[in-house]
Amino acid sequence: MPRRDEARRGITALAVALLLGACGTGGDEVCDGPLVSSLPASSFRSSSQLSSSHGPVFAKVNRREGAGGWSPLVSDRYQWLEVDLGRRTQITAVATQGRYGSSDWLTAYLLMFSDTGHNWRQHRQEDSLGAFPGNSNADTVVHYKLEQPVIARYLRLVPLDWNPTGRIGLRLEIYGCRYTSNVASFDGSSSLVYRLSGRQSWIPTEAISLKFKTLKNSGTLLHAEGGRGHSLALVLEKGKLLLYHQQGVSSPSGGQLLLSMGSLLDDQHWHHVKLERLSDHLSLTVDKNTQQVHVPAELSRWHLNTLTVAAVQSHGLQKPILSNRNFHGCLENLLYTDLNLIDLAKQNSPQAIIVGNVTFSCAEAVSVAVTFTDSHSFLQLPGLTSWSSAAALVKLQFRTWNRAGLLLTFGLPQQDEVVFLYLSEARLRLQMSKAGGAPLELSTGSGLNDGQWHSVELNFGQDRLSITVDKDEGATAHTNIPLLLTPDSQLFFGGCPDQSSSLECRNPFQVFQGCMRLLALDDQPVDLINVQQRLLGNYSHLQIDMCGIIDRCSPSLCEHGGKCTQSWSTFHCNCSASGYRGATCHSSKHEQSCEAYKHKGNASGFYYVDVDGSGSIKPQLIYCNMTEDKTWMVIEHNNTELTRVQASSERNHHFAHFDYSSGEEQLAAIIRQSEYCEQELSYQCRKSRLLNTLEGAPFSWWIGGPGSGRVQMYWGGALPGSRQCACGLQDSCLDSSHYCNCDADFDQWTDDSGLLTHKETLPVRSLVLGDVHRPGSEAAYRVGPLRCYGDKNFWNAAFFDKETSYLHFPTFHGELNADISFLFKTSSSSGVFLENLGIKDFIRIELSSSSEVLFSFDVGNGPFKIRVTTTVPLNDNRWHRVRAERNVKEALLRVDDYPTAIHEAPADGLIHLQLNSQLFIGGTASRQKGFLGCIRSLQLNGNTLDLEERAKITPGVLPGCPGHCSSYGSLCQNHGLCVEKANGFTCDCGPSAYTGAFCHNEVSATFQSTTSITYVLKEPHELSRNGSDAPSSIHSDVTLRGENISLSFRTGQSPALLLYVSSFHREYLTLLINKHDELEVRYKLHSNRDVDILRSRVESLTDGRLHSVTVRRHANSVSIQIDQNVREDFNLTTDVEFNSIKSLILGRGQESDGLDAELAGLASLGFSGCLSGVRFNSISPLKAALHHPDSPVIVVGPLVQSSCASSSPANPYSAETTHSLSGQPASVDPGQPLVNAIRGDSALIGGVIAVVIFVIVSSLAVMARFVCRRKETYRNQEVKAAQPEDGNEFPFSNQADSPGVPSENQKEYFI
């Protein structure tokens, strides 16, 4: 049996004793006196005794009378020793000792407590363990200090285990002190009313505390009425305590529920309650658990006038929470701040009014319950002699969490039938089964596994059988088939004996686990104490005179809003709607940043981001922009558009407030963990001043920063506190005497715009504009979304270069739930990643071998080890992810994408992980088994440890860890190259025909028959003239012995030319669709030889669907693959060298030199349809034309960039979202600011303005581009005319992918 820290328990027990002493026993009294040694013999009872000299009276520590202690007649788990302390006493510790001079002692035991000698309550430790450690010999006294003192009159000790070579033997001492209290008993129609109006009108802190016990599951405990008709009601409903707020007649529904706490509070045991109002919140404590709720605004200055105890409110206008249902039970130590209210009532104070029969003692009804604990539990009772009259009645009450279980079974020998009364799907069912016949079934009730007491009546008559559930509020099922019970009938409750014959008892259903009470046969109560003493019936594995039901969902151990359900022995968490996963809904399903999503290969889009992982901040939907090297998190608010401000003579300021799509905690966390954040702040003005001067009061300001924010008096692009705009910082304002353009107060449109980049002032929460009320003043503002990039947590890393080096952090606190995740890379075969120790508890994660990660821990139940073995080595110097979690239900370990290893926690084991040493990373306190390599993004319960900062001051550990392309390089697709960065990597899409963060976005365009793209290779003299060209520039004087060509297309045209590659030697290569809708590849690699025509067997390529083509040649071997069809192989018969490439042409051919008449005619037809992802070796002509107009490319005719490559194949053109490179010119006043059509004066005007300006900008861009391209066309023609055809020398790489890594500054090359 594991032992816990004695010193810690002592401190805890002392603190609780002092707190409880304030309500009863004096707080200054030391409560550790011996209680047993002076008790008379009548105070001791036991289940049995071996002899008169082994009686319970001799069970006193260090006494040798009699046989030297107590020993029962039989040593089994049904024995017990009971001590009556004579009155309710505060018990703080127990001590056990074996029987003197013997080999008889206990090794484990249970403790039970009671006020009445009935209705025992098992005492459980902090981790819900019921067993206490005993002795190892007969002489040593073992003390056990209770973690929390117990108030009780009776103590019962139940042996669990004993010396295997001896018997049960026990001497006992109990420690504690006297307990005094004020008690009042209420009978369901009585109450107390206290008038507190004589106290001061309002105090910032008020508290009401009490203890109560009851057998009724519903009733009003307190009703506190205060000023302005507001009141608070504390109500017991179905065994739970509810706190309501009511307000006069305006709450016909009974009030607003503020809190719900506790469960099974109708168990006739004392429960402690404290309600506090602390400034701005209410705090409710029920036993050990506390919850808080913000005070409703109406109660912020509320004061208490009247307190009604144990009754519904009856003298005001409010509707009672529970109509006509008063509290029935006992209250103890009812305190209001410094007033003992029960004492006031006993002294007949004028402040206290007694209503009905209130007694100042606790009279308790005796109700003996029995607990069915496991699959071996059963209770057998004989039939009654009166059952020969053919009428019988069986009654019982039960409570359980299980949806199924046998309540009662008995046989009817005269009718050859067996009757089963059982639960199934939480409904009560009665089945009558006869050999060879179909069973007859009745069912009634529902939801009977709610833990509440439910009554059952089984009524047998001569011509009627009925079952009734919850007589007053439930339902009845009946049949006209008679059942005849006889005196010989044997009734089995809960289950059957293990060795029962099939005729006597059989159970085809699950056993019952739960409690029963008030068993009666023909209205004769069954004496369960006689059953316990073996004087009536038979039983096994029962706990008699107690109900051992436990609510494992109160308080719920399911986190993040997970729904808790339970059975008798365990609980389950439904995490489906929480956004979290795991046995307790602890671990987030979502990544903590857009950066993390990007490195899983995701594209731009909306994602749920959980910034603190398993922490308290909920995940929220955020847009992740991954189109750039940087990954931006974009947090929108309620108005990101340019918004016009109207002049108004009725107000001097315009106020705008911004509500963000993310919560306050999430906003703060995003800003804190990002490397950089920005937010656009723009003001467009006409005779509307902004900040005035440095000395004068500002006309406008904004509020930003964490929490409610602070007033900021600077504008976008300037520095905090500068009271300037961007132009003031740059000394470029329109009026040099001012620091903002708008402060010049010109009667023309101007603006002050810029980015706010100081994270401590973000986000912008509200905006106040002052100079907007003068005649002629016009203004518009825009506050853009908050944008942040760079996840400091994701790349936070440290490199351990010595086995003896480590980082240390404060103790990890993960008592009930601990999740740990990190990435590592190493070339070593073993090493400790993480270790934290306690006195006996510990947690450790290590690389135990090159292909195994080991997660080990101990929470007091002995060490557990979980392993994940991988099929590939983990010491390959690539990043690997480890995630470990330990909670009250299970522990798990996952490495990369390998199956998760799971280890279930023991059902009734210790659950708290108690650590007290420093947390070691990369090594251990013993400096052994240290880790060599990198650890990155180490997170414990959602909190990232700053490895880099700690590494800066730790010898043997370096901050950061480069080398990410070995792990993430595969994310760069379509020939994109991975480029290392200090924190992370980027994809260089220069060699690729694709764009995007991972070179995964296809570049597509819609072609018309007149569209032509010509990519001209640079000639040697151009390279010598233009020294600024990139060193990887290529030219045309090269001999190709192979090509790598890929493209996608969709068209309905046949025949059609897809690609034409020309040469200065009248050689060419073409890809075309012939008149049979098939793909042809034609090679003419020698001007004096025939053309090689390679024809694919794939048909119907003009069906309007998207088709992908890949052509690869090496020397004379050519392969063609279309879509997912089988690759087709061909051989060239003419030549293998393609000399002096001149140009690549897509669409309509602008030259026909060297082409035969058929190809020349085909080139003149052009291409109509969609082309996408065109790549010839390292050249991407379509991408160059659309994204790099400064490259050597000539575009003729309309070219429309579109998403045609991803459109629906059923109608390939209708779904295209296009952006044209040409447009129609128009005229508009460019000084007019663009205004959001919804926020501005007129939706129509704003929309028209936006459209017109868009058309102008597009037209100007196209005109400029057209002029530039025409100039390039003329220049190319001049160069060609001046150069002899055979004198060209253009180097050209024939490699499909350049092996070199481009520089960081220039990512794409189109030459």
The pLDDT tens digits for 559-588 are 999 999 999 999 999 999 899 999 999 999
Name, of 923-937, 986-1000, 1089-1103, the range with top average pLDDT: 1089-1103
Burial of 195 (0-12, 13-18, 19+ CB in 10 A): middle
What is the Cα–Cα distance from 353 to 191, expressed in whole angstroms?
8
Residue 1001 contacts residue 992 (beta carbons within 8 Å): no
Does the structure show a pLDDT above 60 at 1023? no
Query: What 8-state DSSP symbol labels residue 359?
Result: B
- Angle at CA of residue 514, ends 214 and 118, nearest 5°: 45
Query: Using an 8 Å Cβ cutoff, are 568 and 401 in contact?
Result: yes
Q: How far is CA 714 from the centre of its chain?
A: 39
Residue entry with tokens 């995740």: 821
- Residue 200: per-residue pLDDT: 53
Cα torsion angle, 1187, 1188, 1189, 1194, sign: negative
Across the chain, what does the average pLDDT equal?
83
Sorted by sequence, the CB contacts under 8 Å of residue 1299 that are 6+ apart come out as none
Distances (CA, A) of 785 to 623, 635, 724: 11, 6, 22
Mean pLDDT of all residues in 472-489? 77
**Which pLDDT belongs to residue 524?**
92
CA–CA separation, 889 and 209 (whole Å): 34
Lowest-confidence segment of 89-93, 136-140, 802-806, 918-922 by average pLDDT: 802-806
- Whole-number pLDDT of residue 1266: 41
Residues in the chain: 1311
Average pLDDT over residues 1244-1273: 41
Under the banding of pLDDT at 50, 70 and 90, the label for residue 1081 is very high
The alpha-carbon radius of gyration of the chain (Å, integer) is: 42
**What is the DSSP annotation of 155-194?**
EEEEEEEE-TTS---BEEEEEEEE----EEEEESS-EEEE
- CA–CA distance, 948 with 971 (Å, rounded to integer): 26
Distance CA 647, CA 779 (A): 9
pLDDT at 319: 54
pLDDT, average across residues 1170-1188: 91
Chain center to CA of 305: 44
- Residue 1158 CB partners (closer than 8 Å, separation 6+): none
The pLDDT value recorded for residue 11 is 36
Cα–Cα distances in angstroms (integers) from residue 449 to residues 404, 510, 597, 638, 1279, in the given order = 8, 14, 43, 47, 91
Mean pLDDT of 735-742: 91
What's the pLDDT score for residue 1027?
A: 37
What DSSP string runs through 901-951? Answer: EEEEPPTTS-------SPEEESS-TT--S---EEEEEEEETTEEP-HHHHH
pLDDT attached to residue 1265: 44
From 1145, 1194, 1180, select the one nearest 989 (Cα to Cα): 1180
User: At which residue do the structure tokens 């190493």 appear?
Assistant: 826
Cβ atoms of residues 1089 and 1101 within 8 Å: no
Nearest to 1213 by CA among 1122, 1105, 1108, 1109: 1105
pLDDT single digits (tens) 64-75 = 999 999 999 999
pLDDT digits (tens, 9 = 90+) for 442-475: 899 999 999 999 999 998 877 778 899 998 676 7
Contact of 1183 with 980, CB cutoff 8 Å: no
CA distances from residue 660 to 115, 639, 640, 786 in whole angstroms, order as listed: 57, 9, 10, 9
Whole-number Å distance between alpha carbons of 116 and 156:
12
Identify the pLDDT of residue 630: 87
Whether the pLDDT of residue 774 is over 80: the answer is yes
Does residue 541 register a pLDDT over 90? yes
* Rounded Cα–Cα distance for residues 296 and 298 (Å): 5
- Rounded to whole angstroms, how far apart are CA atoms 59 and 71? 9
Q: What pLDDT was estimated at residue 59?
A: 96
Q: How confident is the model at residue 109 (pLDDT cuts 50, 70, 90)?
A: very high
**Three-state secondary structure readout of 1236-1254:** CCCCCCCHHHHHHHHHHHH
User: Looking at the predicted structure, is the pLDDT value of residue 118 above 90?
Assistant: yes
pLDDT of residue 812: 94
**What is the pLDDT averaged over residues 341-360?**
92
d(C-alpha 131, C-alpha 135), whole Å:
13
Average pLDDT over residues 1274-1284: 34
pTM of the model: 0.77
CA distance 856 to 1234: 63
Mean pLDDT computed over 308-323: 63
Q: Residues with Cβ < 8 Å from 1025, sequence gap 6 or more?
A: none
The whole-number pLDDT of residue 364 equals 82
The CA distance from 844 to 863, in Å, is 11
Q: What is the pLDDT of residue 198?
A: 56
Which pLDDT does position 1154 carry in this prediction?
63
Integer Cα distance of 916 and 817 in angstroms: 16
Query: Residue 137: what pLDDT?
Result: 96
Tokens for 910?
């210790």
Q: What percent of the chain has pLDDT over 90?
A: 58
Gap between the Cα atoms of 14 and 4, Å rounded: 16
- DSSP state, residue 1278: H
Angle at 671 between CA 667 and CA 672, to 5 degrees: 115
> Is pLDDT above 80 for 1233?
no
Q: Which of 1016, 919, 997, 1008 is nearest to 1204 (CA)?
A: 1008
Tell me the pLDDT tens digit for each residue of 148-189. 899 999 999 999 999 999 999 999 999 999 999 999 999 999
Distances (CA, A) of 1240 to 182, 471, 778, 1243, 1244: 70, 67, 12, 7, 10
pLDDT band at 1311 (very low <50, low <70, confident <90, very high): very low
- Cα–Cα dist 913/901, whole Å: 20
Distance, CA of 36 to CA of 1198 (rounded, Å): 103
DSSP H or E stretch at residue 983: none
Decide if pLDDT at 1254 tops 90: no
Q: How far, in Å, are 85, 520, 767, 1236 from residue 639 at the CA level?
A: 72, 71, 12, 9
Single out the residue of 360, 356, 313 nearest to residue 334, CA to CA.
360
